[in-house]
Structure 1
Amino acid sequence: MNRTSILTGFPWNDLPPKSRVVDVGGGLGHITMTIARQYPELQYVVQDRHAVIPDTEKYWRTNFPQALDSGLHDITNPQPIHDAAVFFLRVVIHVFGRTSAIHILSNLRASATPDTKLVLIEQIIPYACPYNDVSGHPVAGTKDLFPSPPPPLVNFGRFTSLGYLLDLQMACALNAEERTFGTWVELCRAGGWNITQVYPIPGSRFSHIVAVPLQD
């Protein structure tokens, strides 16, 4: 997954000028910088821990100083920004088990406006057998996530084995997991979010999973 793939899914161009995009756990913010170069009319915040943010600020001062508002933030703590148009997390949630992941998503939900979008850039592990749709409604972009008919194996066998190997690594190393679409739906709902759209990234194992706040 290269950095420009961030531009091929979620429609950043639909956001009004001055909309605030918050990269949660964004490291140096190199992915955010790709968006900022394409859409300079938006406002950007990169959040990470105190060990990372000094390097983040140095990176942006060197490469794109006019665009960034960085922020010291531990994603397990309450989210301090309450006017975000988008919270996006790139390969963050998969390193957390269910309980911690729900806690993180719930913190974001508590700080979201009714119009805030959540964008998760994650793998969606293909099913190995047929299943019943758990979303409760059609979700655009998910057709190719479901098993193919015979004669190939329904999850294409070894072709998709890397995702399952990463799932095993996450479980062994971090008590975490890679997730199927149904698991993402359940996890997001438990954290206060409803998945409305999936944008598969061409040539990649990753997708943009877009969710909106569940209404109380």
Structure 2
Amino acid sequence: MFPSDIQELANIIAYNTAIYKHHLASNNLPAPSHHELPPDKPITLPEDIENARQSALEAAHELQSLLNGSIGHIMDAATRSTRIMTLHFIHTYKVGYNLGWGEKTTFGEIAKQSNLDEDDTKRMVRLAITEHFFTEPENGVVMHTAASYELARNRLLSAWVGLTTQENWPPMLKITEALGRYPGSEEPLQSAYAMAHNISEDAFKIWEKDPARIAQFSDAMAFLHSDSGFQPLEVLVGCDVSHVPSPAFVDVGGSKGHVSIQIARQHPEWRFIVQDSPQTIAHAPAEVPVDVEDKVSFQAHDFWTEQPVKGADVYFFKTIFHDWSDKYAVKILRALIPALKPGARVIIADVCIPPIGAVSLYKEHWIRGLDIVMKCFTNAREREYDDWAALFLKTDSRFRFLGARTPAGSKASFIEAEWYPAPGECPGDVTMNYSVVRENGTASHECVGVETD
């Protein structure tokens, strides 16, 4: 927990910001700026420097809350909602998408390109400017900031904004009503999303009938896979298949193979089968880089049906289970069982909610927010450690739960289980300890497995 004294918080901010700034200067890296051309690729920081940056952010979050005061803290919620409103406007009308870095335009030109009223446009863009999306260097002249330029040039980021504002935002206004109408529901068609979008069939099936929506979803997932907060190269840590000549990795719901392609470069001895809907994988093989094209293949598969790849060594699910309540997550796992060989491993890359107090409120806010976003979507959830253990047990007692591990700097954990189809094949029971490590005012969490006799 951070201190509640505002001077102490200010000192934490100053100390950690100095560490971060010194690292950037020492390595000739650009300092953060709204008005300088952003780097082509995100800056990767060493773990200690990233921890300092996070500590400054967390302390700044707490300091702002205290300086606002109790009433101001409540009132601040209204202004925060305008950021997503401005992003919705920018994305919908592609404001600035054809504007280069350093180029100038006007409110009138933006309005004309978008077939909007000029005064309406000016008011919306000026609101966006207060969020550091665009700048107005002189009256009536509009130019990019780093954030608005990043959105304009990054197709995958734009898709993520579209998914967030068009698909996920409307249900947030319906969640309170949905909780009262369908208390405790695990059914997707009783969700806030179903109410907000007035649907009568699964959202994913609706998207698959609409090329633009499914393309936006696929690109948004590609953006999330590329985020430095997820560590795909950590997937196979501890997975010993040295006795297998050509181990098989099945990437279930793997979209266009973004994760498998990255892992294939690190583990060329493996072969990768990426499964998704026919619409998603239709053009995926042509997008596989030449250096791994003989390692990564694609297969149309609906994970509600029996797994067609028998005897693979790993079945991998990236951000799949948080889309579904336990009722449906169990169905997904049971569809695997006919394909599993003894010792086959199921690896799930998803959030493992840390214990209360293990991370700051700043970090927990992101996790709890995502949990409710998934509740809005399909009455799904993010899961705590015990929830994951219970899910495998509920599916089939022949799953041996191995625990969850969270790589340094990762937003996702790797939740793992092995399959032992007959009594006596499992080498002992497994109990799990959840360790919490605190250093220099920061907190990290890691699930650690302990075998017992």
TM-score of the pair, normalised by structure 2: 0.40
Identity of aligned pairs, percent? 26
Q: Give the conservation status (yes or no) of the 8 Å contact 2:389–2:403.
A: no
Distance 2:302 2:239 in 1: 29
Q: Give the conservation status (yes or no) of the 8 Å contact 2:322–2:382.
A: yes
244, 257, 261: which is aligned to 1:29?
257
162, 170, 177: which is aligned to 2:366?
162
For structure 1, the 5+ residue unaligned runs are 129-152
- Return closer, same or farther for 1:213/1:189 CA change in 2, 3 Å cut-off: same
- Return closer, same or farther for 1:37/1:3 CA change in 2, 3 Å cut-off: farther
Matches within 5 A, 1:35-74: 35-60=263-288, 64-74=292-302
Letter in 1 for 2:415: I
State the partner residue of 1:10: 236
Distance 1:4 1:127 in 2: 20
State the partner residue of 1:143: none
> Which of the pair is proportionally richer in strand?
1
State the partner residue of 2:401: 195
Deviations 1:102-132 (A, max 9, x none): 000111123111121000001011233xxxx
Distance 2:377 2:354 in 1: 22
74, 79, 92: which is aligned to 2:307?
79
Q: CA deviation at 1:187?
A: 0.8
Q: CA deviation at 1:156?
A: 3.2
- Return closer, same or farther for 1:13/1:116 CA change in 2, 3 Å cut-off: closer
- Return closer, same or farther for 1:63/1:23 CA change in 2, 3 Å cut-off: same
Distance 1:70 1:77 in 2: 17
Deviations 1:67-88 (A, max 9, x none): 1221110111111111110000
Distance 1:14 1:154 in 2: 31
Q: Give the conservation status (yes or no) of the 8 Å contact 2:230–2:412.
A: no
- Return closer, same or farther for 1:178/1:122 CA change in 2, 3 Å cut-off: same
Distance 2:352 2:394 in 1: 18
SS at match of 1:28: coil
Distance 2:291 2:370 in 1: 33
State the partner residue of 1:123: 351
Deviations 1:123-154 (A, max 9, x none): 011233xxxxxxxxxxxxxxxxxxxxxxxx45
- Return closer, same or farther for 1:2/1:35 CA change in 2, 3 Å cut-off: same
Distance 1:118 1:205 in 2: 19
Q: CA deviation at 1:160?
A: 1.4
Deviations 1:34-62 (A, max 9, x none): 11111111111000011111122121266
State the partner residue of 2:150: none
- Return closer, same or farther for 1:168/1:13 CA change in 2, 3 Å cut-off: closer
State the partner residue of 1:101: 329
Which deviates more from structure 2 when the two are superposed, residues 58-67 or residues 73-82?
58-67
199, 205, 208: which is aligned to 2:411?
205
Q: Give the conservation status (yes or no) of the 8 Å contact 1:189–1:214.
A: no
Q: Give the conservation status (yes or no) of the 8 Å contact 2:304–2:331.
A: yes
- Return closer, same or farther for 1:179/1:4 CA change in 2, 3 Å cut-off: closer
State the partner residue of 1:131: none
Distance 1:9 1:45 in 2: 15
- Count of residues in correspondence between the two structures: 192
Q: CA deviation at 1:214?
A: 4.9
SS at match of 1:66: coil
Q: Give the conservation status (yes or no) of the 8 Å contact 2:343–2:420.
A: no
State the partner residue of 1:19: 247
Q: Larger RCO: Structure 1 or Structure 2 (Cα < 8 Å, ≥ 6 residues apart)?
A: 1
Larger radius of gyration: 2
Q: CA deviation at 1:159?
A: 2.9
RMSD: 2.1
Q: Give the conservation status (yes or no) of the 8 Å contact 1:185–1:194.
A: no
